[in-house]
A and B are shown apart, each in its own frame.
Chain A
Amino acid sequence: MSTLTLEKGINALKEQIDAPVAAFFSSCVHCGLCAEACLFYTETGDPRYAPINKVEPLRRIWASEFTLWGKLKKLVGLNKTVTDELLQQWEPLIYDGCTLCGRCSMVCPVGNDISTMIRKVREGMVASDHAPEGLVGASTRAIKIGSPMGVRLKALQAQIKHIEADTGLTIPVDVEGADYMALLSSMEIINFPEYIESLAKIFKQADISWTLSSEAYEATNSGIQIGSSDIARELVQRVVDGAEKLKVKYVISPECGHAYTAIRWDGPNLIGRPYSFKVVHILELLDQLRNEGKLKTTGQFDKRITFHDPCQIVRKGGVEAQPRNLLKQVASNFIEMEEHGKMNWCCGGGGGVSANERADEIRLKAFKRKKSQLDEINVEVMVTACANCRLVLEEGLEENNMDIPVIGLSELISDHLTEE
Chain B
Amino acid sequence: MARAGGITNAVNVGIAVQADWENREFISHISLNVRRLFDFLVQFEATTKSKLASLNEKLDTLERRLELLEVQVGTASANPSLFAT
Chain B associates with chain A:
no
Q: Chain B interface (Cβ within 8 Å of chain A)?
A: none
Q: Chain A interface (Cβ within 8 Å of chain B)?
A: none
